[in-house]
Structure 1
Amino acid sequence: MVEHQDVSAPARLRVGIDVGGTFTDAVAIDAATLQLVGQAKTPTSHDHPDGVAHGIVTALHQLLDQVGRSARDVVFLAHGTTQATNALLEGDVAPVGLIGIGTGASAVFTKRLAGLRTIEIAPGKHLPVEYAHLRDPHDAAAIGGVLDRFDAAGIRSVVVSEPFSVDVAEGEDLVADAARSRGFLVTAGHEISSLYGLSKRTRTAVLNAVILPRMFATADLVADSIARAGITAPLMVMRCDGGVMSLDEMRRRPLLTVLSGPAAGVAGALMQEKVTDGVFLETGGTSTDISVIRNGRVAVQYTEFGGSSTFLSALDVRAVGVGGGSMVRADLGARSVVGVGPRSAHIAGLPYACFASADDLTGARLSTVAPVPGDPSDYLVLDGPGGRFALTLTCAANALGLVGEQDYARADQEVAALALTPVAEALGLSVRDAAQRVLATGTEPVLDVVRALIKDYRLPEDQVVLVGGGGGAAAVTPFAGHVGELEWRIADHAEVISPIGVALALIREQVERVIPGATDEQILGVRREAEQAVIAQGADPHEVSVDVTVDPQSHTVRAVASGATELRTQDRSSRLSDDDLHRLAARSLRVPPEEAQVLASTAAHRVYGARRRRPWWRLGGGPEHPVRVLDLDGVVRFASPDARVEQGTVGDGTAMLPRAVADLTSYGDGGSRAPALRLLVGPRISDLSGVLDESSLIALARSELEGRDRREDLVAVLERRA
């Protein structure tokens, strides 16, 4: 029975829209309970005069009509788009005028930037860069001459780059202001990255500039269309690191939307499924994108384009050419399955055999084809009364009964078994064994990547969970989980996990500075800059969390701030009892319930621990004290094999934190190393584990407590470093 909400108090909605290559999907999320209340799908409007903006608004109207709500009920609206990614992959970009500034020795380095035009971003297509050199940024006549030249060439997007502009930006600013005053779209190197490295910083700025005109126009169309639809909520755009940014930021740095497609899916897994340590498999019809969640955060890295590195931090996603529609390949003479994919039924223009009717497949004949001219002719198809059908990974998963009743990829198991029967006969196997052979072959490359990611990110294997998303999730994740002996689950509403991720994503901003011998005040300054950046984009100041890392080798100070546009609290009635939380903690700790203890708590979290003998191969002696931090939904937000927990209040923190940090600071030939510290205060877990200096760590910890009620609960979880 469906309980109807009080119409006098309609639910506020968070709306997420994912613009794909074929379809635009929209979802509505109840802003209070974070539950899915509606979804809509419409063809992506590439060819419309308003471009993808038309499809966004069409999907929005369909969604609101379906859930019986109006534009005024929308309190948050965000969209993700593949437009920037596709533009770079296809080489469909605008020409850029690159102005290098420098005299003397620095001119040698800036003139080398002209070589950026040799970077191939798509087959046969290079970065369209027109280089101009400027000796003196104060020379207005010279600047005007360069801009006249660009204007005559039809160039509307300009990059300005000068050595060491991250320290002194005056030269870049002077030239950038002159170009903007004449109507050019401008990207200054220091605005894209504050890290040293002229070539990499300029390369990143040029990649931003080549997509700037198109993305700027799209931003205007989307904003105008949303305004005409009556939406007054802040409009956000998905970033490539799993967060969202304001439309104004997208106009300035559209490059941050590149590779945001996979980021939306893993953001959905992170926010909806509340994964702490896991691997997310987003499976479509043709491929599976594989990404990592570590300690409740998505894993990001600097990305490359055209074989050249950049300062763009994007999701670390590894794509495997195996999806739900991947066709089975076999050597029928040798009675062996030789592969699954990379060609999919969609590309071959064939329907899946498991979605046919039994009558369509009665007496079907098995044969092999080349789906596209030039392909190997070993892809299996069935020719029956209903036509030609592709044999896919989804067919095998359904034949084995691995696809749940509510899964998007669900087909009649008897029909799927009927489709696999000719294959089984040709291989000399039972239908079940044939289906297992197909799935083992198809999921093997996926498991290879999963195992590599677990190793690369040192995920705790006893905590790792595989989470499947995308329309083809059930074709890959269940079997991979069974074979890999890993805990697994299919995400709720897996087929729309990407727009769910867009709807639930937090505003995110990253600030990086190279500061040799950074002082406490300089580190706090970088932290404040990141915090203010997300607040300026609409984040609730009380809900902003900032993680700070100080790399002593590269002297890089990095602050990553995230926050919601409004306080998002789930319905308290849906949360677990203390007994349930205790049971879940004991299971995670791998101890009997009577051995799990509550060590500390706040209004939002419970901290559990146990005591066990340290394995002989681990140094240090004495027992271990494993710790688990759970939220009130029972999700393990942080796990440690050995940690110390301190409970107090914000008022106690001034004395408690320095004492605890001093107790656990390690000393050696390389100097001192402060413990890894995480603070639980209010609804947040502040991760300060990236700071090794004791003084800086205490200064940052104190900054996390500024402005909070001195009576508020405070918990510190500390891990001694080796």
Structure 2
Amino acid sequence: MKPNALRIGIDVGGTFTDAVAIDAATLQLIGQAKVPTSHDHPDGVAHGIVEALHQLLERIGRSAEDVVFLAHGTTQATNALLEGDVDPVGLIGVGTGPAGFFAKRLRRLAKIEIADGKKLPVAYEHVPRADDDRHVDGVLDRFEQAGIRSIVVTEPFSVDDPIGEEHITERARARGFLVTATHDISSLYGLSKRTRTAVLNAVILPRMFATADLVQSSIDAAGITAPLMVMRCDGGVMSLDEMRRRPLLTVLSGPAAGVAGALMQEKLSDGVFLETGGTSTDISVIRRGKVAVQYTEFGGSSTYLSALDVRTVGVGGGSMVRIRTGGSAQVTHVGPRSAHIAGLPYACFATLTDLDGATLSTVAPVAGDPADHAVVDAAGGRFAITMTCAANALGLVPDTDYAHADQAVARAALAPLASALGTDVDGAARAVLDAGVAPVRAVVERMVEDYRIPEETVQLVGGGGGAASVTPHTGQRAGKPWRIADHSEVISPIGVALALIREQVERVIPGATDEQILAVRREAEQAVIKQGAAPAEVSVDVTVDPQSNTVRAVATGATELRTQDRTARLTEDDLRAVAAGSLGVDARALTVLAATDSHVVFGSPEERRFLRKPKHPVRVLDRDGVIRFASSDALVDQTTAGAGAEAIPRLITEHTSYGDGGSRAPALQLLVGPRIADLSGVLDESQLVSLARTEVEGHDRAESLVAVLEVRS
């Protein structure tokens, strides 16, 4: 890596565009810049992206030649869909007989409401045979006359035989149309869902394509030669060419940027990330070092878009306090109205002089709202009592935090509320925070349960400008360790700068053979390499679902080789202390079960249970002290890459379980080099052996190899 190399991340928000510079060697933040988002500029948000980049480089005294990685995240696609500000789409259905009948039913997509009063602008045309060029040309003529530039081609079973879709796609592109073929969007069965997903991609394609061109030309003019990447909705990034083809993958990427920051900068392995702004908190999960994703919906209809599983609670740093006055005054709720909606300043950001003579009263922030939102009227005017005020009153907001206020002022702001509640300022502040974090805590606990995160490994990490108003008290009330992310106010652009290239390939393959599964794995691996990932940095997780016959491969990789700073590594005693804290045992009781240059595996004394097999709890830590894998019962074996070709299949066979439902291979994690290959999604013994051998191939025969196995019941 060249000296002074920079990774640049730019996050385009609704109000501001933030840019950060990260040292590519140390991954430390070295500078940041903020400019207004340029919605109204002739070049749209592209202008703000370039302006933020120029200001950032000027501020840190660096040049375009130093940039080795540049990525941006944008809410443009999300906003377009939420507001219904999309382009018309021509939908071409193909087929005769029963296939044609089902294709024609897709004209009903025009009834889907994507925004209040706005439906998908879809014009449907049917073509019985894809190779009927005269018929196809007639359809394209009508679309052209209607001013339609973006087209979707859909044919039943195109995931098995895409020739028809490809033929029409080539013919339409030759005439200058932007075309989305459904088999390119998803290789899963389900004609309606696959076509819905493709149509959502197509309605935002023209403007996203134009933005991509503007950003690329501006970056080229700035002299930056690093490839431009775009944030995806699943926590990774993709090349600009991929964004031009599948802009839908940028939808809902805003929250994903923050989670990427928690994953990469904070090295959160098992836990919950809470990104708090002024009005709301986005809550998401990281499980075993991976973001939790799910298929998402638009307009009440399901799609094949895999996006971050983010759950939003209407409580943020600016959320107003709601009270019941009278004989038994109490705090009843916090939010969802925020101070800025009411047009009021936060009381804690006033001065003691402003708050002179403060008295408590209640207002309706917006006409029609309940008049139970607490405010103080004082010499300096009217101020809102917020979550940020309560957190500052209790000293929970660090001096360096974006939301820090003078504690004396915050306590003065809460004094009238405390008097009404019949308590002291501390009691009033706790009452506010208790009410505010109650719904946040409920969602956190539900997500921990949904994703089966071991309670002893759960950590809460807060990000966003309002992090200190929500995360500390949530952690305290839930009894879980918590921390505020470094530079939490710019955690999203940091996440963009540090994110890995990601690609997901899904195939429905009934009775998939080992070779077919390996082919899906290779396809995902080659896809990220094609987008610029260094081959040695690529990791691929494979899942085989025997119920749905779905083979899924998720590949991730960095654009450059990342060498670890050995001077920053922890000692074995330090690592032992971290593992002991997670396992809840004395550090002296731990045993080192395996160790490589990158990881140490600790085991605690076996847990004996009456009439049941004893358990062997295990923790895998990287040399930075991050718990990368936790298991309540696992077996560990260390060998070499050379010996692994025989040792790993033997271990898999020995620990495959059998029952009425057939055989179930163990859940396997392979530690080889700096990577942990997660093969726990494969149940078949033969398939698991093939994938394990693939993971070991290419490594020096003397390199350490560690297998961590969990026997399935």
| Shorter-chain TM band | over 0.9
CA contact (8 A) 2:235 2:253 kept: yes
User: 1:620 deviation in Å?
Assistant: 4.1
Counterpart pick for 1:365 among 344, 349, 359: 359
Secondary structure at the aligned position of 1:388 is classed as strand
Q: Give the counterpart of 2:261 among 249, 268, 277.
A: 268
- Among 7, 17, 24, which residue is 2:10 paired with? 17
Retained in 2: the 8 A contact 1:195–1:512? yes
Q: For residues 370 and 77 of structure 2, what CA distance do their matches in structure 1 show? A: 33
1:459 equivalent among 449, 453, 474: 453
CA contact (8 A) 2:339 2:345 kept: yes
CA displacement at 1:229 relative to structure 2: 1.1
1:342-491, aligned counterparts within 5 Å? 342-491=336-485
Q: Which residue of structure 2 lines up, in the alignment, with residue 217 of structure 1?
A: 210
1:174 is displaced (CA, Å) by: 0.6
Question: What is the aligned counterpart of 2:242 among 241, 244, 249?
Answer: 249
Partner of 2:141: helix, strand, or coil?
helix
* Displacement of 1:599: 1.0
Task: Determine if the alignment matches structure 1 residue 594 to structure 2 residue 606.
Answer: no
Q: What is the match of residue 497 of structure 2? A: 503
Give the aligned partner of residue 69 of structure 2.
76
Q: CA separation in 2, counterparts of 1:650 and 1:570?
A: 21
Aligned equivalents of 2:172, 2:607: Cα separation in 1: 67
SS class of match (2:608): coil
**2:89 aligned to which of 82, 89, 96:** 96
Identify which of 616, 631, 642 aligns with 1:651. Answer: 642
Which shifted more, 101-110 or 419-428? 419-428
Cross-structure match for 2:621: 630
- Please report how far the alpha carbon of residue 11 of structure 1 lies from its aligned counterpart in structure 2 after TM superposition: 2.1
Deviates more, 1:248-257 or 1:355-364: 355-364
Which of 42, 60, 78 aligns to 2:53? It is 60
Structure 2: runs of 5 or more not aligned: none
Contact 2:639–2:706 (8 Å) recurs in 1 = yes
The residue matched to 2:49 in structure 1 has which SS? helix
Tell me the secondary structure at the aligned position of residue 166 of structure 2: helix
Take 1:28 and 1:648, find their aligned partners in 2: how far apart are those partners? Answer: 40
Contact 2:456 2:583 in 1 (8 A): no
Which residue is equivalent to 1:287? 280
Structure 1 partner of 2:553: 559
Where 1:361 maps in the other structure, the secondary structure is coil
Structure 2 counterpart of 1:713, one-letter code: S
SS in 1 for 2:396: coil
- 1:521-532 alignment, distance < 5 Å: 521-532=515-526
Question: How many angstroms does 1:327 deviate by?
Answer: 0.7
Cα distance in structure 2, aligned partners of 1:475 and 1:570: 34
State the SS of the aligned residue for 1:359.
coil
In 1, Cα distance between the equivalents of 2:369 and 2:334? 13
Structure 2 CA distance for aligned equivalents of residues 178 and 404 of structure 1? 61
Equivalent in the alignment of 1:694: 685
CA distance in 1 between partners of 2:481 and 2:635 (Å): 28
Q: Which residue of 2 aligns with 1:3?
A: none
Aligned mate of 1:339, from 329, 333, 339: 333
Task: Verify the 8 A CA contact 1:34 1:570 in the aligned structure 2.
Answer: no
Give the aligned partner of residue 159 of structure 1: 152
Amino acid at match of 2:634: A
2:196 is matched with: 203
> Superposition pairs for residues 53-202 of structure 1, below 5 Å?
53-202=46-195
Task: Tell me how far apart the structure 2 counterparts of residues 400 and 654 of structure 1 sit (CA, whole Å).
Answer: 58
Amino acid at match of 1:216: F
Alignment gaps of 5+ in structure 1: 1-8
Per-residue CA deviations over 1:655-676 (Å, capped at 9, x if unaligned) read: 1001100111000111100000
- Pairwise CA distance, 1:403: 1.1
Higher mean C-alpha displacement, 206-215 vs 705-714? 705-714
SS class of match (1:651): helix
Which residue number in structure 2 is paired with residue 6 of structure 1?
none
**Number of aligned residues:** 711
How far did residue 713 of structure 1 move? 1.0
- The one-letter code sitting in structure 2 at the alignment partner of 1:663 is E
Pick which of 50-59 and 242-251 moved more: 50-59
| Structure 1 CA distance for aligned equivalents of residues 691 and 333 of structure 2 | 53
Runs of 4+ in 1 over 3 A off after TM superposition: none
Distance 2:56 2:3 in 1: 15
Alpha-carbon deviation of 1:571?
2.2
Alpha-carbon displacement from aligned partner over 1:97-121 (angstroms, at most 9, x marks no partner):
0000000111110000000011111
Q: Report deviation, 1:167.
A: 0.3
The superposition leaves residues 295-336 of structure 1 with CA deviations (integer Å, 9 ceiling, x where unpaired) of 110000000001100000000000000000001111222412
Rounded to whole Å, the distance in 2 between the matches of 1:371 and 1:164 is: 54
Pick from 23, 26, 49 the counterpart of residue 33 of structure 1: 26
- Aligned match of 1:668: 659
TM-score, normalization by structure 2: 0.99
Q: Indicate conservation of the 8 Å contact 1:33/1:569, yes or no.
A: no
Query: 276-285 or 603-612, which moves further after superposition?
Result: 603-612
8 Å CA contact 1:666–1:721 kept in 2: the answer is yes
Could you tell me how far 1:10 is from its partner in structure 2? 4.9
Note the aligned Cα RMSD (angstroms).
Answer: 1.0
Distance 1:181 1:291 in 2: 43
Distance in 2 (alpha carbons) for counterparts of 1:653 and 1:496: 43
Distance in 2 (CA, whole Å) between partners of 1:582 and 1:476 is 31
Amino acid at match of 1:68: G
Alignment deviations for residues 226-249 of structure 1 (CA, whole Å, 9 cap, x no partner): 111111111100000000000000
1:517 corresponds to which residue? 511
Moved more, 348-357 or 527-536: 348-357
